[in-house]
Chain A
Amino acid sequence: MNWKPRSALLAAVIGLALTAAACGSSPSTSSTTPKGTITVAGFKFSEGSVLAELYGQALQHDGYTVTFKLNLGSREVVAPAIKSSQVDLYIGYAATDLEFYNSSAGEATGDVTATTSKLNSHLQPLNLVALNPSSAVDQNAFAMTKANSTKYNATKLSDLAAIGGQLVLGAGPECPTRPFCQPGLQKTYGINFKSFKALDTDGPLTRAALKNNDIQVGLVFSSDADLSSLGLVTLQDDKHLENADNVVPIVRTPVATSEVKKVLNAVSAGLTTADLVNLNSQVELQHMDPDVVTKAYLQQHNYFS
């Protein structure tokens, strides 16, 4: 029985596995910065990647090592991750985050300062902090195809109250539990949909479903840039269900040093809704990469420093 090839092979496999493990655990980028590592999470929609890259690259430019966890999931996934310190930062939306952390108590208003400070009162016991909100806003919006809007004579959300039973609502799976989504439509507008279809949060599944008429009303975002090119119209939020969903970074308190706060607040101060729509447009319509468009944007604004 010839031992040598077999033992050599076994040794090689074990050696390979150990080497791979060692290679896998060493940092892939050489870090010459003494400023430490920050992990940024992004929500599972393209604007989530844009915002994560935007703020993350600003931190990188300032000398931090940034790890990105993009397309991580909905807030239901990201919040536990930041609470358990698996990520350090995510870019949220003031009103929606407030209603998430206060268990839908209904405290959010159109006043972003008040909303953010209430948000912080709920974040503080969790060792988290919301920084300065940006003037850039992205709220939930509800879209129909132009054809359906004409067919049902619907231009505002209150038009749907009477015909809810004929319509299927489509959004991410978290929508039935979100105050600014299905429950809000029912409470504020009295719309009782025929059924709900779980798709994705403002993604290609929702758009395809609208196009196929699998759903008649779909959740989109007010900062989306591709809606009209897809033949979609948003219904006016005439009863103001949606509130101050200003972009706001949420950080773990130990990570929120004055330096980090300075960098992130500078970006928030410079970012406008128009900027956000423009960034989204480049990603959604021209299919550019989130990291590429945010880098160009930051360079253009000299990283807001």
Chain B
Amino acid sequence: MSILARVVQWFADPAHWTGTDGIPTRLVQHLQLSVESVLIGAAIALPVGIALGHYGRFGNLAMNISNVGRAVPSFALLVLAFQIFGLGDAPIIISLTALAIPPMVTNSYVAMQEVDPDVKDAARGMGYRELAQVLLVELPLAVPLLMAGIRTSALQVVATATLAALIAGGGFGRYIIDGLDQQDYTKLVAGAILVALLALATELGLAAAERLLVPRGIRLLRAPSARRVTYKAA
């Protein structure tokens, strides 16, 4: 039987949809790790990037932090986290958060920098104070690039979370790592497909979120997101 047929059979097997090693359980684990990491990362990265971009300070650092972040090998980061923090979700989330931060800092910095200075002037002229200006005027205009950063981070986190299985983590990576260890290629391929599907779902979900958040006028003017920082860490 071809491997594809076996994979289809694997998905059709109800045993793979229940229990501690079942698809729903692994999905929840994978999502939990990913969502928590991106949220915590965003909570740290977005304010920093937005502030830096708004004031136009430390541009070089903000731009280059993506390069540095991309240079950190994710596999090593996870192993280091295990050796420092031990087992459990904490080392995984800490590593994934560290990987999620750089693209969001860079993209939010660039996003705020790209806001038309005339618009900022006009807002200032209309009497907007600093925080209100940022929140009500600049941020909505910055949303496309900001979301591009969040999408990049989220995709990368979802992909890298597969490596968490190397330090006893859960999620779809378990199918891949266990499949490799057991030479069970059906499980391995199934795991890879599940991760790819989850990544696609993440991309589509965030694209939908972006559509909701981007002001209608900007959406009509949208240029192609050619500036997206592509990322692959796992």
**Judging by beta carbons under 8 Å apart, are A173 and B183 in contact?**
no
Contacting pair B178 A173 (CB below 8 A)? yes
User: Is A209 among interface residues, defined by CB-CB distance under 8 A?
Assistant: yes
Q: Does B87 contact A (CB under 8 A)?
A: yes
Total residues of chain B contacting the partner, CB 8 A: 15
Which among B167, B180, B181 is the interface contact of A205 at CB below 8 angstroms? B167
Alpha-carbon distance between A297 and B174 when the two chains are bound, in angstroms: 39
Contacts of B46 in A (CB 8 A): none
Q: Which of A69-77, A269-277, A284-292 contacts B (4 or more CB under 8 A)?
A: A69-77
Is the C-beta of A208 less than 8 angstroms from some C-beta in chain B? yes
Contacting residues, chain A, for B183 (C-beta < 8 A) = 76-77, 80
A195 contacts partner chain B, Cβ-Cβ < 8 Å = yes
* B63 contacts chain A at the CB level, 8 A cutoff: no
Residue from the set A173, A174, A177 with the largest chain B CB neighbour count within 10 Å: A173
With A and B bound together, what is the CA distance between A195 and B87 in angstroms? 18
Evaluate contact between A198 and B168: CB separation under 8 angstroms. Answer: yes
Q: How far is the CA of A172 from the CA of B87 in the complex (A)?
A: 15
Please provide the chain B residues from 147 to 198 with a CB less than 8 Å away from any CB of chain A in the complex: 165, 167-168, 174, 177-178, 180-183
Known: A199-B168, A209-B168. A73 touches B180 (CB 8 A): yes
Complex Cα–Cα for A209 and B88 (A): 9
Asked if B60 is an interface residue, CB under 8 A from chain A, the answer is no
Asked whether, in the complex, the Cβ of B168 is within 8 Å of the Cβ of A77, the reply is no
Within residues 60 to 102 of chain B, which ones have a CB less than 8 A from any CB in chain A? 82, 86-88
| Contact among A177, A199, A214 with B182 in the assembled complex (CB-CB below 8 Å) | A177
Is A257 part of the binding interface, using a Cβ–Cβ cutoff of 8 Å? no
**Counting CB contacts under 8 A, is A197 at the interface?**
yes
Q: Are A212 and B178 in contact (CB under 8 A)?
A: no
Residues of A within 8 Å of B168, CB to CB, are 197-200, 205, 209
Contacts of B180 in A (CB 8 A): 73, 77
Q: Tell yes or no: B20 within 8 A of A by CB.
A: yes
Task: Flag if A212 contacts B174 (CB, 8 Å).
Answer: no
- Please name 15 further chain A to chain B contacts, defined as beta carbons within 8 Å, in addition to the given A76-B182, A198-B174, A205-B167, sorted by A numbering: A73-B180, A74-B181, A77-B180, A77-B183, A80-B183, A173-B177, A174-B181, A195-B20, A198-B178, A200-B168, A205-B82, A208-B86, A209-B87, A212-B86, A212-B87
10 CB-based A-B contacts, threshold 8 Å: A76-B182, A77-B180, A80-B183, A173-B177, A198-B181, A205-B82, A205-B167, A205-B168, A209-B168, A212-B86
